[in-house]
Structure 1
Amino acid sequence: MSQRLALALAATIRHDGNGGVADDLADLAGLAAWLRAEADPLREDVGVTGLDPATVDEPTRLDVLAVRRATRSLFAVAVRPGPPSRADATTLLPPEQAVTRLNEAAAAVPVHPVLDWPDGAAPTVTWRGTGGDARSRLTAGLARAALAFLTGPGRERLRACAAPRCVRYFVADSARQHWCRPSCGNRARVARHYRRHNP
């Protein structure tokens, strides 16, 4: 599902465990590892095929970073009036520029619907890109996943995690959910307790 892929791309910026921010796509090895981990959603959800993570180059990494920056910029818009992720404070694109960047990336490779209807199962439609090089197919697929998420029902439940040091975006299961994971909720409660007892 595009929601999973869009959130996975945004989550490549994360808390590093030491109070800072880590970027899983900071180098080619990180991008290759992420592409291997996301191979199934890339292939099944947005039709990215024929991409060998071992052969990704720096221009591909920079294109993926540009799509991620645009995606996180629009995630920051989607969570309003709440605050954006702390990791994005100085890197947000203006919304119109982020929209243009995603639209241009998505348009780089033409797509067409493909029907799959296995015996005894419900029919599904997936989108397949045709033409273009591997880099264009990848960035177009990631941009399409972000566009599908931002125009789908998950956008209304998108939140920036409110826990100290966490920089993730997540889709809330309920209106009362403020943290992406139970560990973030525990960290927030401990920080609140500490502030109350140590003014």
Structure 2
Amino acid sequence: MDATRLALDLAVTIRHDGNGGVADDLADTAGLAAWTADRAAALDCAEDGPPPADEALLTAVRELRAAVRSLFARAVRPGPPSSADAHRLLPEDEALARLNAAAARVPTAPRLVWEPGAPPVLRDLPAGAPPAADRLTAALARAALAFLAGPDRDLLRACPAPRCVRYFVKDHARQEWCTPSCGNRARVARHHERRRRSGDV
């Protein structure tokens, strides 16, 4: 999983719930445990498994997510941010400080990994033996920093569909929504609005 995917995965743990509200995949420690288990390799937790999902780790990950979503809102300007958190964005300097501090908790060192039959790969791995919770939050922060400093940032969008709260990376020139279902919902909403204005409803 690359930095783009991991950063987006964290941001979209806040999503439309299908009933007009917002769902939070990280609402509790069980949600965090499931989310981190699915991404253990990308979170520098593949060998030992993710750390126990306790309240402290949940708070740390949710604080990182708030920073990521605040910086995503900056990245999509001049377009509007996601409606889920447009009213509660962190100040940009605070969001940057939060991400940078989390990334710095775990120093990394380059290591050459060369599996039989595969080309060599240079990876930045944690130096020493930092606590698993620090490795996890640092990996999330580094992924977000890499995404925000990389070329995909220019393709980041907030989905404009009614009730959608997701960010997405625009895959092709005509993509307007995060998913086809959001596109359908937007078209239906426009259709109903046109009918309402013309008095057909």
TM over 0.5: yes
Q: Alpha-carbon deviations, 1:75-131, whole Å to 9, x = none? A: 000000000001112221111110011000000011112222345544322221133
| 1:30-179 alignment runs, 5 A limit | 30-43=31-44, 49-52=47-50, 55-119=52-116, 121-130=118-127, 131-179=129-177
Whole-Å Cα distance in 1 between the matches of residues 85 and 112 of structure 2?
38
Whole-Å Cα distance in 1 between the matches of residues 89 and 107 of structure 2?
28
Whole-Å Cα distance in 2 between the matches of residues 135 and 119 of structure 1?
31
Tell me how far 1:49 sits from its aligned partner: 4.8
Whole-Å Cα distance in 1 between the matches of residues 50 and 36 of structure 2?
9
- Counterpart of 2:108 in structure 1: which amino acid? V
Kept after mapping to 1: 8 A contact 2:43/2:135: no
Kept after mapping to 1: 8 A contact 2:73/2:82: yes
Q: SS at 1:90's partner residue?
A: coil
Q: SS at 1:42's partner residue?
A: coil
Whole-Å Cα distance in 2 between the matches of residues 67 and 89 of structure 1?
16
Kept after mapping to 1: 8 A contact 2:40/2:50: no
Deviation >6 Å, runs of 4+ = none
Structure whose CA Rg is larger:
2
Q: Alpha-carbon deviations, 1:39-93, whole Å to 9, x = none? A: 23223xxx6753445x221001000011111011000000000000011122211
Whole-Å Cα distance in 1 between the matches of residues 34 and 87 of structure 2?
27
Whole-Å Cα distance in 1 between the matches of residues 8 and 74 of structure 2?
15
Whole-Å Cα distance in 2 between the matches of residues 181 and 196 of structure 1?
23
Unaligned segments of structure 1, at least 5 residues: none
- In the alignment, what sits opposite 1:195? 193
Kept after mapping to 1: 8 A contact 2:162/2:185: yes
Whole-Å Cα distance in 1 between the matches of residues 55 and 113 of structure 2?
35
Task: Report the structure, 1 or 2, having the larger helix content.
Answer: 1
Could you tell me the TM-score, scaled by structure 1's length?
0.92
Whole-Å Cα distance in 2 between the matches of residues 95 and 83 of structure 1?
15
Whole-Å Cα distance in 2 between the matches of residues 51 and 62 of structure 1?
19
Q: Alpha-carbon deviations, 1:25-48, whole Å to 9, x = none? A: 0100000010111123223xxx67
Mean Cα deviation higher: 129-138 or 161-170: 129-138
Mean Cα deviation higher: 111-120 or 163-172: 111-120
Kept after mapping to 2: 8 A contact 1:48/1:128: no
Whole-Å Cα distance in 2 between the matches of residues 146 and 195 of structure 1?
38
Q: SS at 1:167's partner residue?
A: coil
Report % sequence identity: 61
Unaligned segments of structure 2, at least 5 residues: none
Q: SS at 1:85's partner residue?
A: coil
